[in-house]
Structure 1
Amino acid sequence: MSGPHPAVAACRVAVRDALGDLELGTRIWVACSGGPDSLALAAAASYVGRKHGYLVGAIIVDHGLQPDSAVVAERAAHQVRRAGIHTVHIEKVIVGRSGGQEAAAREARYTALEARIDREGGLAPLLLTGHTMDDQAETVLLALARGSGARALSGIPARRGRIVRPFLNVRRKDTMMACEALGLDPWHDPTNTIEDGPRRSALRSKVMPAMIEVLGPGVVSGLARSAALLQADADELDRQARSAMGTSVSTVRSDEWRCDMLAALPDAIRTRMLKMLAENRGAGPLTATHVAALDSLVTAWKGQGAISLPGGFEARREYGRLVISHPSEEERRP
C-alpha cells in the first residue's frame, strides 16, 4: 500500500515536529486564508490532530479589503472543512490606516485571531500560521533592503508566544502540490500578481525568480538558513542586553542610567539595551534612527539637547546620566 504524496508527508512531518509532545486535548488553531500554504497547513494539522488527540480548529479573517471578501472567506471555510477541520470561525475585521494597509491588516488580523482564541479557551491553545521557507527568504530580503539589523534579518521566528509556524522549512511549491494531491482547491490572492500590488508581491513575482535564475534554486534555502543563524545570534545578544540591564548602570531612579557605564558596554549590547530601556518606559516602538540618537547622548555627547521618542517621551543627558521621561511625569514630580 503506497503512502501519502511526498509533499503531503512533508507537511505532516513539519507540523508534527513543530508541535512536539503536547498534552492530549490541546487546542490547536490554524489561521487560514484559503490560500495553498494555510490550506495545506489545515490539512496537515487535521491529520496530526487526529493521530495525537489534539482539538483542531480554524480561524478565517475577512479583512473586507476586496468587494468579494465575504465570498472568499466562505470559500476558505468550505475548503478547510474538506481538509478535515470542522470547527471553523470567520472573523470580520475593520482594517485601519496606521503604518500602511499591509501593516494595518496584519495588526487587525492578529488581534482578531487572538481574541477568538481567548474566547474559545481550552487547554494551552496554540495558533499555527502557514508561513513558508519562501516567505522567510522574502522577509530577509525586505529587511536587507531597509538596512535593518540582525533581529530583522533573522526573519520570521518559528515560535513566538503561542504562535507556531511549522512550514518555515517547507517550500511554497510543496504546499501547492500537497493541496493538489489532497484534492483541495486553494484561493490565489490576486494582489500577489498585480503590477501595483504590495511590495512583497513584486518581490515574489519579479525579484525572487530573477535571483533563482542567476544564483540557482538554493538561494531560497540559503536565505532561510541565514535567517536561522542570525536569529540565534540576535537571541543571544538580546539575552546579554537584558542581563546588562540588571547591573549597576541604573541609578536610584528608574528612568535614568549612568552614561559612563553604558558607554563601556560593547556596541551591540549597548544599542539593544538602549532600545529595551526606552521601550520598557513606554516609548516605542523605536526605529534605528531613534536608537542612534539615544546612543549619541551616551557615547558622543557634545551638549546636544533632548531628543523626541515615540509616545511623547523624550531622552536627555543630565549630569552624566541618561534620562528618559514623559512631560506629564515631570509635572507630577514635587
Structure 2
Amino acid sequence: MRDALAAAGYPERVLVACSGGPDSLALAAVAAHFARRGTVDGHPVSVAAVVVDHQLQEGSAGVAAETVAVLQELGLSPVQLRTVEVAATGFGPEAAARDARHAALEAAADELGCGAILLGHTLDDQAEQVLLGLARGSGTRSLAGMRPARGRLLRPFLGLRREETLEICAVEGLDPWHDPHNTDPAFARSRTRVDVMPLLEEKLGPGVAESLARTAAILQQDADFLEELAAGRYAGLVQRTDDGVWLPEAAVRELPPALRFRVIAKAAADVGGQQPGYGRLQAAEALLRRQGSAGPVQLPGNVSVYRLSLAGQAEEKLALAKQPGQPDVPRGGDGCGKLVFRHHKTPQH
C-alpha cells in the first residue's frame, strides 16, 4: 500500500472501499495500520471507509452493518454505509452494480475530502479480467485489465494473491464474509474463478495467474502509448458542428489501422456514444473504403456515422437520405470527404 500512496503523491486522507470480503477486509486492516501510525513515509495520513450495500442479495443490509462495525473496531473513521439502487444499463448486472458502486465511492470521497479511494482487487482478479477479455475477443485496452491507479482509484493489492489476503485476515483475527455470487455459475466471472483458472493451473502448471497479470501490465503500456497517439491525431483532425463532429475521410483512411479504429471510437465518444465493439468499429471503418453503403452505421449510445461525399453521387444520396428521427444532414458539395458522427436522443430503428 505504501507504493500506491507514494505514486498518488501521498494524499492526506484516503477512503477504503470494503464489502466485508477477504480482499477488501485485508486492505482495510493494512490501511488501519497506517491510520494508527498517522503517517506513511513521514507523510500524514488518515483513513476513512465506506461500505456499499447494493441490495442485490437477501440479508445484504445485515452484512453491510456488520462490516461497518468491524471497520470501526479497526479504528477507521468515519465509516459510512451507502445504500444504492442498481439500475439496468443493458451491459449486465455486474457492470450495473459496478457503476452504482463507483458513483457511491466517488460521492463519499468528495464528501469526506479524500484524495484516494483504495480498492481490494488482487492479482487473481486481474488474471480473471484478462482471461474474460480474451474469451470475449476484446481489444488491447480490455486485455490490459485493471489499472493500479485510475484517477482517485488505487488498487494496492494487484500484486497479491487472493490466498494472501485470507492470511492477512487470519493474522488480524478477522472473519470475512464470502459473497455467494463469487461461486454462482450464473456469472461468467464466477465460472472463470471456480472452474477455468484451476483447470488451467492443473493442465498448464502453476504460474498461470501471474503470467496473465504480467500480460496485463505489458499491454497497459502498449495501450497507453496507442491511446496517446490516437488522442493527438484525433485532436488534429476533428471538426465540430452544432450537432456533431466530422473527420476528413482521406486523412483517417491514411492512418495505421490501430490508430484509425481508435480515432473512430474517439469520435463516437466525443458526441456522447459508448465504446463500440470491434464489429461496429469495422462497419464504421468500412465506410472509408467507398464500397457499398455510405451509411449510416449505428454505434452504441445512439450514435450514427456516415460518409458524406461529392454531391450528386449515388452513395451521397443514400447518406443524405433523412432517416426516421434523425436531424437533417447538411447538403452541398462542401461536404465532400467527411466522416460524420451524430448523437440522437432516442434510439434509431
TM-score, normalised via structure 1 length: 0.88
> Which amino acid is the alignment partner of residue 80 of structure 2?
H
Change (3 A) 1:251 1:112: closer
CA distance in 2, matches of 1:42, 1:327: 44
What residue in structure 1 maps to residue 86 of structure 2? 95
What residue in structure 2 maps to residue 229 of structure 1? 218
Change (3 A) 1:250 1:72: closer
What residue in structure 2 maps to residue 113 of structure 1? 105
Corresponding residue to 1:202 among 183, 191, 194: 191
| Identity of matched residues, % | 43
Secondary structure of residue in 2 paired with 1:166: coil
- Kindly state the Cα deviation for residue 178 of structure 1 after the two structures are TM-superposed: 0.6
What residue in structure 2 maps to residue 57 of structure 1? 48
- Aligned Cα RMSD in Å? 1.9
What residue in structure 2 maps to residue 146 of structure 1? 136
- Kindly state the Cα deviation for residue 217 of structure 1 after the two structures are TM-superposed: 2.1
What residue in structure 1 maps to residue 127 of structure 2? 137
What residue in structure 2 maps to residue 11 of structure 1? none
**What pairs with 1:294-309 in structure 2 (closer than 5 Å)?**
294-299=284-289, 301-309=291-299
CA distance in 2, matches of 1:63, 1:251: 42
Q: Verify the 8 A CA contact 1:60 1:77 in the aligned structure 2.
A: yes
Corresponding residue to 1:278 among 259, 268, 272: 268
Change (3 A) 1:214 1:239: same
> Which amino acid is the alignment partner of residue 72 of structure 1?
V
What residue in structure 2 maps to residue 10 of structure 1? none
Asked if 1:325 is matched to 2:334, the reply is no
What residue in structure 2 maps to residue 8 of structure 1? none
What residue in structure 1 maps to residue 12 of structure 2? 26
Secondary structure of residue in 1 paired with 2:212: helix
> Which amino acid is the alignment partner of residue 64 of structure 2?
A
- Kindly state the Cα deviation for residue 327 of structure 1 after the two structures are TM-superposed: 5.8
What residue in structure 1 maps to residue 332 of structure 2? none
- Kindly state the Cα deviation for residue 229 of structure 1 after the two structures are TM-superposed: 0.2
Secondary structure of residue in 2 paired with 1:246: helix
Decide which structure has greater helix share: 1
- Kindly state the Cα deviation for residue 181 of structure 1 after the two structures are TM-superposed: 0.7
TM-score, normalised via structure 2 length: 0.84
- Kindly state the Cα deviation for residue 50 of structure 1 after the two structures are TM-superposed: 3.6
Asked if 1:76 is matched to 2:67, the reply is yes
Task: Structure 1: state its 5+ residue gaps.
Answer: 1-14, 329-334
Change (3 A) 1:305 1:187: same
After superposition, the C-alpha distances for 1:107-149 in whole angstroms (9 at most, x for unaligned) are 1111111112222225xx2100000000000000000000000
Q: Verify the 8 A CA contact 1:43 1:84 in the aligned structure 2.
A: no
CA distance in 1, matches of 2:50, 2:240: 48
- Kindly state the Cα deviation for residue 251 of structure 1 after the two structures are TM-superposed: 4.9
CA distance in 2, matches of 1:278, 1:65: 33
Change (3 A) 1:206 1:22: closer
Change (3 A) 1:96 1:267: same
Secondary structure of residue in 1 paired with 2:158: helix
Corresponding residue to 2:180 among 162, 184, 190: 190
Between 1 and 2, higher relative CO (CA 8 Å, sep ≥ 6) is seen in 1
What residue in structure 2 maps to residue 288 of structure 1? 278
Larger deviation, residues 294-303 vs 273-282: 294-303
Task: Structure 2: state its 5+ residue gaps.
Answer: 310-336
Larger deviation, residues 303-312 vs 159-168: 303-312
Q: Verify the 8 A CA contact 1:64 1:94 in the aligned structure 2.
A: yes
CA distance in 1, matches of 2:162, 2:97: 22
After superposition, the C-alpha distances for 1:229-261 in whole angstroms (9 at most, x for unaligned) are 0010000000000111233x3457571111111
CA distance in 1, matches of 2:70, 2:141: 36
How many aligned positions are there? 310
- Kindly state the Cα deviation for residue 300 of structure 1 after the two structures are TM-superposed: 5.2
What residue in structure 1 maps to residue 2 of structure 2? 16
CA distance in 2, matches of 1:22, 1:297: 43
- Kindly state the Cα deviation for residue 309 of structure 1 after the two structures are TM-superposed: 2.4
Secondary structure of residue in 2 paired with 1:191: helix
Secondary structure of residue in 2 paired with 1:325: strand
**What pairs with 1:238-253 in structure 2 (closer than 5 Å)?**
238-247=227-236, 249-251=237-239, 253=241
> Which amino acid is the alignment partner of residue 22 of structure 2?
P
Q: Verify the 8 A CA contact 2:130 2:144 in the aligned structure 1.
A: yes
